[in-house]
Structure 1
Amino acid sequence: MIKHIYINLNKLLTKFILAVCLLCFTANAQDLGTLKVKAAEHNLDLKAQFKAFEAQLENVTQAKSWQDPNLSFGYFISPIETRVGPQIARFSLTQMLPWFGTYKAKGDIASYRAEAEFEKFQDQKLKLYLDVAEKYYDLSALRYIAELEAEQLQILRDLKSIVESNYENNKANLVDILRVELLIDKQSSVIQVLKDQDQALVTQLNQLMNRQLKTPVLISDPKQILEQKEVVETDSISKNHPRLEAIRNLQESNKAESVLAKKQAMPQFGLGLDYAIIQDRNAMNADAGRDAIMPMLSVSLPIFGKKNKSRKKQASLQGESLQFQLENEETRLETEIQVAQYKQDELYSLLDLYDKQLLSLKDILQLSEVALANATMQIEEVLRLQEERLLYQKQRTLTLANLQKINETLSYLTSNSAL
């Protein structure tokens, strides 16, 4: 009686320890959303794209800045005699002013180009989320398959016990035992290969998050993650997708370039001041030695019209090119969505097929194990059925992972630039 109570206490203690370990593991598990945030914060490619946007943003300040004034100095080796004395040196200060609105047009061009660069950053961030999700679901599928392989290993060991019992009762041959042992060794090797593949996927996932490549990635329940049902609405493409918004900003920049081309065809104005230093050598003249100051106004003459026409034509051609790019990008997005939907429907059909096959195999295997124990069925047939079930289970797992990845792809294709 005391021994029975001791055994029950040991079982309860073991269950309690396992429950605590599972709770701690679940608490430390990393969900997909957390991994996406870490990747967005630390991924080097994304940081590089953001710095490119910031660099492009600096062009706005440069475009709106005035031209630097010109200051010149001249010294007469042979002084020029004037009425009030010899002129020995001259200072000139000139500031050019473009036609009204030129600086605004340049600023608009730089601003829209910076916004286009930001949309590229947004698109790259969404693609990074997609990459993280694909690696995450691949890792979840691999770990669930590893669980299935471990269950298969235990099934083979149980079958070995049945075959050994039949062999002792002269109901089976020694070769049957050896055949099961061979499969057990093979199954152990498969599990080890899966562990190596697991580390490779973990390394790829950590690289996306720019952290130590061997940092563990904890997934509490791979099967539950893969079984999640999430329907993505995909009636049409998002009109504000970053890939489209980037081109639209370039179109706005092109419109500003057209305005700039018209402004550059207008004259520029120059304001200046000349200061001449005159030496005092004429004591009889009251104005002797007085330096001369001369304000100046200059106007550029845009008489060579070919380059101005060329600028306008270039802006017009670029506008047509961008319009074609926008239409092509919209078609590409729509095509990618439809292809993803076709794959999604195909995967759902495969999933239904695997569920039906596994349900049928479940009943067959229950009967076959009973028949094997009664020595009315050969071990080869039971092993074949077990292999077939494992194959369907693995194919179903990969199908679930592909479904999750398709959902993530559709989420990317229908995203807004504001996300």
Structure 2
Amino acid sequence: MNLRKITFFQNMIPWITLKTLISCGLLFLFFQGVKSQTLQDYIKEAKENNPELKAFRNALKVSEERVNEVGGLPNTTIGTGYFVSEPETRTGAQKAKFSAQQRLPWFGTIKARKETASLESEVSKNELEIAIRKITLQVEQAYYNLYELKARQNVLTKQEELLDTYIKIALKEVENNRASTVDVLKLNIAKNNLQNEKEILKGEILTSETVMNQLLHRDGFDPLIVPDNLFIPDEEPTMMLDDITFHPELMTYDFLNDLLDKKEDVNTKEALPSIGVGLDYVIVEERPNIDFSDNGKDIVMPSLSLSIPIFSKKHSSRSKQYELQKEEVYQKREASQNSLENMMEKAINNRITARINYDTQQKNIEQAKQAEQIIVSGYETTQLDFEEILDVQQMLLNFENEKVKAIAQYFKQTAILNYLR
């Protein structure tokens, strides 16, 4: 019996090992898949899933389909009638009448309408591009905001670990009568404050992750991975005012201006006469007891008509409206360009400020760490001054937080500049 049990377990070991390896491999692939998500992956996901962008894409499809709509002719008019009192003609009595008529706009009107609809489609396409840029900017801002919060949380965790070390030292010093219980209490209070900040940050991180997941339009609360090692590059990229000349927000107004020109063209052509072509067919009954060649011959009558817009106040009113709208578009374009230029100047200045703050905090952190080393290095010969330790730790905490904020601020402003390109 014992031999059988041993043999059974020996046979099971390879299977258990294989199963464990497969499970570990799947877990590894899962976490690798999660970690492999970059900012560009999130932006791509938002572009594919964001409901606002889907709405803009549908609006674009509608505007593209409208080109086919305006290219059609007016409805064909078809009529029929029966003669209650039959008029007599030489060839016989008229029994019934069928008619068909088609209105034709003036030459070039349909082409102008299609060109107008095509420009409306270009406006919709440009609005989609603007929406994509804005969603991209929102994703980037949420991403770097999440980075800032998690990086600050990491700073607090490291500071807490350092305080734990100093608390242990302080307890040992109390036993050796080289420190007081008050020192331990002060260290514990500092640790409590760190834990309090960490709890507050948890709520802020949760809110930031919710915003990010909403932008990505995720069904559930999926994990979001952000880097913990961002740094500001050494060289500062440059951007000129000319870079925003072809920004989609400004191009929209250019398209709108061209669209108003096309609408005026359509309006001018619609003020011209429209042509009507038609055909009447009359059924004629044969005259009895008479034999001649056209007896009972049906009547076919082509027709041609003109519809002349004599009272054309609506067309002159439209022309005036288009003229006023063009002035409105021009003013809005000027205002938008000023706004974009101000946004770019502000982003450039804020990014430079972030770099200055980053460099300053780097120096401050190095000097604070040197001060900490000086304090700790004399620990073997003299009593450790926990007041100075707490002061240095508080300075380090502030400097590290400011450094993280500077990094996040730098990349947030870069995201704005990317939107303006």
TM-score by length of 1: 0.87
- Kindly tell me the number of residue pairs found equivalent between the two proteins: 394
Match of 1:296 among 297, 303, 311: 303
- Structure 1 position 348, deviation (Å): 2.2
Match of 2:289 among 283, 289, 294: 283
- Structure 1 position 60, deviation (Å): 0.7
Match of 1:241 among 232, 247, 254: 247
**What's the RMSD between the two structures over aligned residues?**
2.4
Match of 1:259 among 260, 265, 271: 265
Instruction: Classify 1:398/1:86 alpha carbon distance in 2 versus 1 (closer, same or farther; 3 Å).
Output: same
- Structure 1 position 399, deviation (Å): 1.2
Is residue 163 from structure 1 mapped to residue 201 from structure 2 by the alignment? no
**Deviates further, 236-245 or 376-385:** 376-385
Name the structure 2 match of 1:344.
351
CA deviation profile, 1:79-130 (whole Å, cap 9, x unmatched) = 2233322223211101111111101111111100111111010111011111
Give the match's secondary structure for 2:102: strand
Name the structure 2 match of 1:320.
327
1:139-150 aligned within 5 A: 139-150=146-157
For 2:70, the aligned partner's letter is: A
Is residue 269 from structure 1 mapped to residue 275 from structure 2 by the alignment? yes
CA deviation profile, 1:6-39 (whole Å, cap 9, x unmatched) = xxxxxxxxxxx9xx98996598331111111111
- Structure 1 position 376, deviation (Å): 4.2
Name the structure 1 match of 2:360.
353
CA distance in 2, matches of 1:370, 1:22: 46
Name the structure 1 match of 2:55.
48
CA distance in 1, matches of 2:216, 2:68: 34
Give the match's secondary structure for 1:79: coil
1:179-198 aligned within 5 A: 179-198=186-205
CA distance in 1, matches of 2:65, 2:173: 82
CA distance in 2, matches of 1:372, 1:41: 60
For 1:151, the aligned partner's letter is: K
**Deviates further, 377-386 or 111-120:** 377-386
CA distance in 1, matches of 2:319, 2:277: 28
CA distance in 2, matches of 1:255, 1:37: 37
CA deviation profile, 1:197-244 (whole Å, cap 9, x unmatched) = 33332222122112234111223x412x34456744311133221111
CA distance in 2, matches of 1:315, 1:109: 13
CA deviation profile, 1:41-90 (whole Å, cap 9, x unmatched) = 11111111111111111111111111121111122222223332222321
CA distance in 2, matches of 1:230, 1:406: 15
Q: Which runs of 5+ in 2 are unaligned?
A: 1-23
Match of 1:209 among 216, 219, 222: 216
Name the structure 2 match of 1:95.
102
Give the match's secondary structure for 1:77: coil
Name the structure 2 match of 1:81.
88
For 2:177, the aligned partner's letter is: N
Instruction: Report if the CA contact (8 A) 1:232-1:410 is conserved.
Output: no
Is residue 120 from structure 1 mapped to residue 111 from structure 2 by the alignment? no
CA deviation profile, 1:372-404 (whole Å, cap 9, x unmatched) = 665545423321220121011111101110100
CA distance in 1, matches of 2:75, 2:403: 69
Is residue 413 from structure 1 mapped to residue 420 from structure 2 by the alignment? yes
- Structure 1 position 164, deviation (Å): 1.1
For 1:233, the aligned partner's letter is: T
- Structure 1 position 322, deviation (Å): 1.8
For 1:359, the aligned partner's letter is: E
Instruction: Report if the CA contact (8 A) 1:166-1:373 is conserved.
Output: no
Identity, % of aligned positions: 29
Name the structure 1 match of 2:10.
none
Give the match's secondary structure for 1:380: helix
Is residue 388 from structure 1 mapped to residue 395 from structure 2 by the alignment? yes
Instruction: Classify 1:204/1:226 alpha carbon distance in 2 versus 1 (closer, same or farther; 3 Å).
Output: farther
CA distance in 2, matches of 1:349, 1:44: 39
Instruction: Classify 1:179/1:373 alpha carbon distance in 2 versus 1 (closer, same or farther; 3 Å).
Output: farther
Instruction: Classify 1:212/1:303 alpha carbon distance in 2 versus 1 (closer, same or farther; 3 Å).
Output: closer
Is residue 63 from structure 1 mapped to residue 70 from structure 2 by the alignment? yes
Q: Which runs of 5+ in 1 are unaligned?
A: 1-16, 415-419
Is residue 132 from structure 1 mapped to residue 144 from structure 2 by the alignment? no
CA deviation profile, 1:262-287 (whole Å, cap 9, x unmatched) = 11121111100001122234431533
Is residue 367 from structure 1 mapped to residue 367 from structure 2 by the alignment? no
CA distance in 2, matches of 1:68, 1:365: 88
